A = this chain, B = another copy of it.
């Protein structure tokens, strides 16, 4: 875990003072830069020491066999792993005759700042070499949001205490050596030397390396150019080999003099384009950015972010730690989605190799709701990516002997990569998650063209999947048996309420969409009778309930099972349980890894009364161990809804500081994008009480005891709706986009909101129906906020 004081609380910065070599990998994830297309971990320029070196290109992967000691029907034969591509960050420094290395000499000052408004990673070092020479290094790094192919860095060394001979070596390195990963089954396998060299060329200080993966056959190019600024006597030259290019600049600096290098790196990859086409593409990108220049590149970056924050920022008064954390979270959400452009949004974004670089359902259920409200174009792109894989999904459904489309549980390119069948052939809720995300996007944006081209097909094919998965039982209800819901401590269950309600919504939205687009529906062979069957299934969907306990069941019969021995687990420090217990035992007992029924009560909350929510929240709180990073934010949302505001705040802090405090002990493998997005959800859907049931935006704001103010915006059908909450009042306004009247609800009450005319209403407090619910022993929220 990262010590609480490591990143001091500041509103727009994540600042690290000093350098803890034991936490290098974690800080590489926290300080990772990405635009959704390129991702570079926050490794020190000099490369050594490092935690987990990493440079990634979205969807650039290698294929690998999936071994099975006992194979079964429908198991995927090969998987996909994100590949560490050519490293363009590297700048080594020689000071007199000694290598600049944080493990030797003395660090007089070390500071790194992730600037959330400027979109830059800055570093300042004052270092005394083992022989007593003092230098100052300042660097700035960015991955451009405006020039998608570009990573750029400025690096400057200054002599401090006497004439100093300095040599800068700027490098491109392919097939870097990688450290071994842990034995945790969730931590992905590492691929060694994945890149076959295809071309290396150099001209002046511009170099290029082109490589290809061996099995997936993807080709990538990295090109670099340099501007060197220093005293007149600077010499610079370049050298290149197959896996490696170096530009060297050296000089002698008098105290106060500096040697600087500006480095532009352009990346590109393709599964189809020829080598010359790819070569020219990255060369052009380099020429473009050189034409822009460093100063304007930074200005573009700031401008892009200003626009983002204008719609995406949540202001939290009286709660500086949450304020910083939610901004850090929203910055990483943007980094994951900004320029992915019809590629997957992986669970770790492009910040590490965790989960092999795969995308899961949390993209649709945690990240896209946030992007839909704050950066809708990125949301559309992510959904268009899903749509682009629909043929793979229909093929997969056929393999599983089902109708419609079955999207993968985990993937990079679209093929199912899960080697664990209770997930890969049973966690079907991912399909409803995708479909409902598409419907939500259409509802929020009114993007008809998207609906016509992509949304309808996503909804129709997933609706067909549900019809082939479920059946009408003798009780007249529609049942979906033998599937796996969100909670990974149960599997292969019947009538998981989350899945059932999401499937029902999927079926309803599919029906409505098909009615809106009759010609397109016709082209998909949708028949009227089919729509009737969809609605009949949706309307009779089973929702198992325990009448004795008076609580909904996460799945049919769930509440009849033995309750996990939480006391024993606390005593034996058995968390996360999946590393200390066999699946069969987790699955058969009442123990919940992550919000499941509680998640259903957030997204399909109109299917439950407030009393039912309060009762269920209390019941499942006692069973939920949060061994998943997806849980805290959802628990925060329900806690707020049922009036448990302090508990909601505790969960909010856990979700928001997941990576800043390394709460899951695996931030080294990349940040938890879903949990970071979840901190926005916890504030906006939790404390803000925002819902969109039935296509009407509703709010029911409340503040945590410490909060003095909460305000945020969402983009809704071209407008920007702004909500400002004080301890007593809520003010709504529409202050962007076309003149419009938007109907919203404030704590149940309809308000017709007109552009430019703010409306203020009293805040309506929710009285909790239960005492503060208790968690399993030792599993209360990790709510200690940084100071």
- Chain B residues contacting A291 (CB-CB under 8 Å) are none
Instruction: Assess A560 versus B483: contact at CB under 8 Å? Given A401-B582, A583-B421, A588-B492.
Output: no
For A400, the closest partner residue in chain B by CB is B582
Closest B residue to A569 by beta carbon equals: B401
User: Which B residues touch A419, using CB under 8 A?
Assistant: 68-70
Please determine whether B585 and A400 come into contact, CB atoms closer than 8 angstroms. Answer: yes
The contact string, 1 if C-beta is below 8 Å from chain B, for chain A 56-69, is 00000000001111
A70 lies within 8 A of B420 (CB): yes
Q: Known: A481-B588, A556-B557. Contact between A582 and B70, CB under 8 A?
A: no
Asked whether any CB of chain B lies closer than 8 Å to the CB of A426, the reply is yes
Chain A residues with a Cβ closer than 8 Å to the other chain, count: 48
Q: Which residues of B contact A67 (CB under 8 A)?
A: 67-69
Q: CB distance A583 to B185 under 8 Å?
A: no
With known contacts A425-B584, A426-B584, A482-B585, A579–B185 Cβ distance under 8 A: no
Q: Contacts A471-B562, A556-B557 hold; do A492 and B579 have CB atoms under 8 A apart?
A: no
Q: Could you tell me which residues of chain A, from 116 to 134, have a CB within 8 Å of some CB in chain B?
A: none
Q: Are A583 and B73 in contact (CB under 8 A)?
A: yes
Residues of B within 8 A of A474 (CB): 548, 560
**Bound Cα distance from A557 to B584, whole angstroms:** 18
A74 beta carbon closer than 8 Å to chain B: yes
In the complex, A578 has a CB within 8 A of chain B: yes
Quote the shortest CB–CB distance from A562 to chain B (angstroms). 4
Closest CB-CB distance, A775 to chain B, in whole Å?
Answer: 22
- Chain B proximity of A147: nearest CB distance (Å): 38
Residues of the B chain whose Cβ atoms lie less than 8 Å from the Cβ of A79: 69
* CA A585 to CA B588, docked complex, whole Å: 19
Residue on B with the closest CB to A556? B557
Residue from the list B185, B548, B584 in contact with A421, Cβ < 8 A: B584
A72 at the interface (CB under 8 A from B): yes
A587 at the interface (CB under 8 A from B): yes
Is A665 in the interface zone, CB < 8 Å from B?
no
Does A589 have its Cβ within 8 Å of any Cβ on chain B? yes
Give every chain B residue within 8 A of A66 (Cβ-Cβ): 69
A481-B588, A561-B481 known; A425 and B72 CB under 8 Å? no
- In the assembled complex, 24 residue pairs joining A and B whose CB atoms fall closer than 8 Å, in A order, are A67-B67, A67-B69, A68-B68, A68-B185, A69-B79, A69-B420, A70-B420, A72-B578, A72-B583, A73-B578, A73-B582, A74-B583, A399-B582, A401-B580, A421-B582, A421-B583, A425-B584, A471-B562, A473-B562, A474-B548, A481-B562, A481-B589, A482-B587, A492-B588
Q: Which 7 pairs of residues, A with B, have the shortest CB-CB distance?
A: A482-B588, A69-B419, A67-B67, A66-B69, A74-B582, A481-B588, A426-B584
